[in-house]
Chains A and B, each alone.
Chain A
Amino acid sequence: MELKKKLLEHDKRAVARLISMIENDDQKAFNIISELFYLTGNAHIVGITGPPGAGKSTLTASLAKKLRDLDKTVGIIAVDPSSPFTGGAILGDRIRMQDLALDEGVYIRSMGSRGHLGGISKATHAATRILEIYGMDYIFVETVGVGQSEVDIMKIADTTILVLVPGLGDDIQVLKAGIMEIGDIFVVNKADKDGADKLVLEVEMMLNLRKMENDWQQPILKTIAIQDTGIDILVNKIFKHYNYIKTTGLLKSKKLKCIEAELAEILRERFIDMVYNSNNAQLDLKEIANEIFNKKTDPYTAVDKIFFELKERSN
């Protein structure tokens, strides 16, 4: 197949096309990933998350530049929210990444979340696989800036960076929402602004309150992304974290858990599709909803019946 060949020949157009096909649920793209699956799993995937406007895109660009200086190739997937009403989106993360636009060793893709919650889109994971097959050394995934629900990034990133900024007032809100757990590295960006040191202290206190199940000490770093300040140390921590999870076996156990979760998700989706596409009157969810509304049955009994029907048919 043409696209597969082009992907292996490092054609960015093939990457671009394949990611769109994944976003549009085109089976052909998934077939190509299947055929080339042996080439996946070699990139270091770094998640960048945090509240809106924290500087995630600026920081990502700054990190990518540093890695390019070290002659590493970099893929970037930047997710912004889609409008739940029109399905449209304004994808603006690239504005901060202009310096990288013509770099041969960089590929940048903007994605709408397309109704998916959790800070990334449904296609993001498969898109990282395309970039791995393409041969990127590092893949950055910038999540939607929500502030408390972008936990899905943990399922695809090896290292997750939680970016906070002073002066938002709701930083502590972020911390309270329990998303502290997702940060392997904490960054207090916009350290040129008042309140950065205070925020670092607050985060430190929060982290000390919790006992880690492993002994990775989540570092808290200050950066000024617009001036590339603090980026060297951050890059070193990213290397260090990867090394740590590799040597302790945490990377493997994390990946295994994520693969299992992914399997469950694909199964769930297939299963629902199967019910919807069954052409079996007993499985007509609209009709069943109607019956539930009219109190002829209830959701629990109805699902029992659906399972019974599916089992009967497969026997």
Chain B
Amino acid sequence: MYTDRKIRVVIAKPGLDGHDRGAKIIAHALRDAGMEVIYTGLRQTPEKIVETAIQEDADVIGLSSLSGAHMHLFTRVMELIREKDAENIIVIGGGIIPNEDIPKLKESGIAEIFTPGTSMKEIIDFIKSKTISNCE
């Protein structure tokens, strides 16, 4: 019987800032686009995020940050991804991130940064285009 391969996304909020409304909105939009979203809640460490993505066999990690600590946290996630040999996982970021930081983040291996104002469709299309080879 036909079972379609589901795109699995870990949505995580590293760092200490205290609200996750944005992350939740993204989670719902991805669910409505047919994806399985593993939601991990607030105050995640990069170590926990990467380990979770491995155990959940995630295709994508979506990081959200509003605290300004994104440089350190996001690049640490990428470091761990390489350390754990998990480069098959695509990492994207969002939240309040100054434009001048984006090139540096991409250099560290983050596939894309979505700043406020990006449409949900753009994010969904991006994830689908990046995972299509594994998933269809």
Report which A residues bind B (CB closer than 8 A).
12-13, 15-17, 19-20, 23-25, 82-83, 86-92, 94-95, 98, 101-102, 107-110, 112, 114, 269, 272-273, 276
Contact = CB atoms under 8 A, between A and B. Distances in A.
Given A110-B38, A112-B6, A112-B36, A88 B56 contact: no
Interface in B8-50: 8, 27-28, 30-41, 44, 47-48
A273 B47 contact: no
A98 B41 contact: yes
B4 interface: yes
B81 to A, nearest CB: 13
A288 to B, nearest CB: 18
A86 B32 contact: yes
16 contacts: A16-B54, A16-B56, A19-B57, A20-B8, A23-B6, A82-B36, A86-B31, A86-B33, A87-B6, A88-B32, A88-B37, A89-B31, A102-B47, A102-B48, A107-B55, A110-B36
B51 interface: yes
Contacts of B55: 12, 15-16, 107-109
B129 to A, nearest CB: 18
Contacts, number: 89
Nearest to B35: A88
Interface of B: 1, 3-6, 8, 27-28, 30-41, 44, 47-48, 51-52, 54-57, 86
Given A24-B5, A25-B3, A98-B48, A90 B54 contact: no
B57 A20 contact: yes
B38 A91 contact: yes
Given A87-B34, A90-B28, A102 B51 contact: yes
The 6 A-B pairs of least Cβ separation, nearest first, read A95-B41, A16-B57, A88-B31, A101-B48, A20-B57, A88-B34
Given A89-B37, A102-B48, 15 more contacts: A24-B3, A24-B4, A25-B1, A86-B33, A89-B36, A90-B28, A94-B52, A98-B48, A101-B48, A102-B47, A102-B51, A110-B38, A114-B6, A269-B1, A273-B1
B20 to A, nearest CB: 10
Contacts of B35: 88
A74 to B, nearest CB: 13
B14 to A, nearest CB: 12
A6 to B, nearest CB: 12
Contacts of A16: 54-57
A273 B86 CA distance: 36
Contact of A23 (B1, B3, B32, B86): B3
Interface centre among B33, B51, B55 (most CB of A within 10 A): B55
B34 A90 contact: no
Contacts of B37: 88-91
A104 B129 CA distance: 34
Contacts of B86: 13
Contact of B31 (A12, A15, A83, A110): A83
Nearest to A18: B57
A273 B52 CA distance: 35
Contacts of B34: 86-88
Contacts of A101: 48, 51-52
